[in-house]
Amino acid sequence: MLFYFIDAAYWNQLGQQLLLDELGKQRINSQAKNIIFFLGDGMSISTVTAARIYKGQKAGKTGEEEQLTFDRFPYTALSRTYCTDAQVADSACTATAYLTGVKTDTDTIGIDANVEFNNCTTQLDPALHVDSVMAWAQAANKATGIVTTTRITHATPAGTYAHVANRDWEDDYAQSFDGVDSAICDDIAEQLVLSSPGKNFKVILGGGRAYFTPRTMTDIETGAAGRRRDGQDLIGQWVADHPTGKYITSRDELVNLDVAGTESVMGLFSPAHMEYFLESSTANNPTLEEMTRTAIQMLQKDANGYVLLVEGGRIDQAHHDGRAKLALEEAFQFDLAVAAALNLTNPADTLIIVTADHSHTMTINGYPVRGNDILGLVGYLAADLKPYSTLSYANGPGSINGYGVGGSRVDLTDVDTTADSFLQPALVPLASESHGGDDVAIFALGPQAHLFQGVYEQNYIAHVMGYAACIGPGVKFCDVPRKSY
């Protein structure tokens, strides 16, 4: 292979160029007019590395030398993801941390740790609510929006607008299983459509139609009944409340949207989560990149600037399924969305942050040779004289490809480990692979991006966004006295 013939001169030249790039780095020490916050759900550092290789190999390269778009961001840091009651976090408490600046308990959103899980009464106390960066932005007359490949009521997007004692209360049907009176405690879908800051979003793009429609209505795509038991048609309510807005349900409608003539848009493209990219050929779904482009174009119309959340949500769910290939493809699609945002914005006035909420248990192990298929086998046999895959999980459904009957490992010699349906081997049998507790990376570019150069508590991220954009209750860039020369 070609890389065996790269000599010392190549590496010296590369090292010197990287050094010069670092020496020439200039801080953008000004106010951020706009913020785009990219959240790769479950995008652990090992996922970033594997996705980088996957991207390169899709382009016919060995892979290791490839760069994701956000690899080139000038500032990086680490985020500590534990929550107030857990060593290994979930997406609800982490969303609360990085969006509101306050860490809280697992499975709760937009409230502090004084709220009791599953307790509707404590959820109602406004003194226990914590506001998100979206509420801060709206108070400063900025436009706001959310984009996700999951249900729009799922934990990450819900962190921008909801205050709930249980992340699963996405609609009144879900609340009924916990004996909650939906007339007293609004579910997450209701809070998006009926309450601030959700009802003021200019852009809402994702999945989850069924959570907004009653069971007397059928889905436009599948014909299945809606989920709501309270009879509310929340989509109809949103349309009524946004007479200059547009409700859409397909990729065709998104790409043909009259951005200039549309004040706000709600796009719900699937009854539940949007399909995995590799399984979406029969669905008329926009890509994450396409949704991101439209969201930015919509929000750029606001002279006061905007704050946008973009979530690559199905990276996490593919990991839970034990399907590393799907997770890496979702991460690749996420990277395309970041690239689109870079092309549409100016780093002089737009702070872009890319991070993850928590880790996963996927590892890259070896020793595979340079350029080995990241989804393939390592290339030589283990002590039991059987091959093993480069990617594996510490736990999950892939245990069927791990240790079989009598404790012996499954022989993968004639197995296509690159297939979309393949489950990477897992050690501990779990129906759903779990999150990991290790730190995740932060990548930043634009005004005040230099404030990410260390190891931080995850809630610090929200405080940086508030400071950079001069929004929220904390210290702000525009309030700090500066020397005049």
| Cα–Cα dist 252/170, whole Å | 27
The pLDDT score that the predictor gives to residue 485 is 45
User: Amino acid identity of 3?
Assistant: F
The pLDDT score that the predictor gives to residue 480 is 79
Q: Which of 91, 132, 270, 389 is catalytic?
A: 91
Domain-wise residue ranges, the chain? 75-308+334-357+435-476, 364-429
> Distance from CA of residue 359 to its chain's centroid?
12
Is the C-alpha dihedral spanning 137, 35, 286, 316 positive or negative?
Answer: negative
Question: From the annotation, which residues make up the binding site?
Answer: 41, 154, 156, 311, 316, 320, 357-358, 435
442, containing H or E segment: strand 440-445
pTM of the shown model: 0.97
Which residues are within 8 A (CB) of 418 and not within 5 positions of it... i.e. 6 or more apart? 325, 373, 375, 376
Question: From the annotation, which residues make up the binding site for Mg(2+)?
Answer: 41, 154, 156, 311
User: Model confidence at 406, in pLDDT bands (50, 70, 90)?
Assistant: low
Which residues are within 8 A (CB) of 342 and not within 5 positions of it... i.e. 6 or more apart? 69, 352, 445
Q: Report residue 218 as tokens.
A: 């059928």
DSSP assignment letter at 6: -
Q: Which residues of 206-240 are buried (b: 16+ CB within 10 A; e: fewer)?
A: bbbbbbbbbeebebebeeeebbbebebbbbeebee
- Second CATH level (architecture) for the domain 75-308+334-357+435-476: 3-Layer(aba) Sandwich (3.40)
What value does the mean pLDDT of the chain take? 96
The pLDDT tens digits of the residues spanning 442-484 come to 999 999 999 999 999 999 999 999 999 999 999 999 997 766 5
The pLDDT tens digits of the residues spanning 59-108 come to 999 999 999 999 999 999 999 999 999 999 999 999 999 999 999 999 99
Give yes or no for a contact between 448 and 32, defined as CB atoms under 8 angstroms apart: yes
CA dihedral 32, 34, 35, 36 (to 10 degrees): -140
Classified as helix, coil or strand, 193 is helix
> Distance from CA of residue 135 to its chain's centroid?
19
| Average pLDDT over every residue of 315-322 | 98
DSSP per-residue codes, 362-399: EEE-S-PPTT--TTSEEEEE-TTS-EEESEEEEEEGGG
DSSP per-residue codes, 309-341: EEEETHHHHHHHTT-HHHHHHHHHHHHHHHHHH
| Cα–Cα dist 250/139, whole Å | 32
Q: In the predicted model, is pLDDT for residue 2 greater than 60?
A: no
Q: In the predicted model, is pLDDT for residue 3 greater than 70?
A: no
> Distance from CA of residue 458 to its chain's centroid?
15
Q: Which of 64-73, 182-191, 404-413 has the lowest mean pLDDT?
A: 404-413
Based on the residue annotation, tell me whether 44 is a catalytic residue of this protein: no
| Cα–Cα dist 70/444, whole Å | 8
DSSP assignment letter at 128: G
Instruction: Report helix angle 91-100 to 460-469, nearest 10.
Output: 30
The pLDDT tens digits of the residues spanning 347-380 come to 999 999 999 999 999 999 999 999 999 999 999 8
Helices and strands (DSSP H and E) totals, the chain:
14, 17
Question: From the annotation, which residues make up the binding site for Zn(2+)?
Answer: 41, 316, 320, 357-358, 435
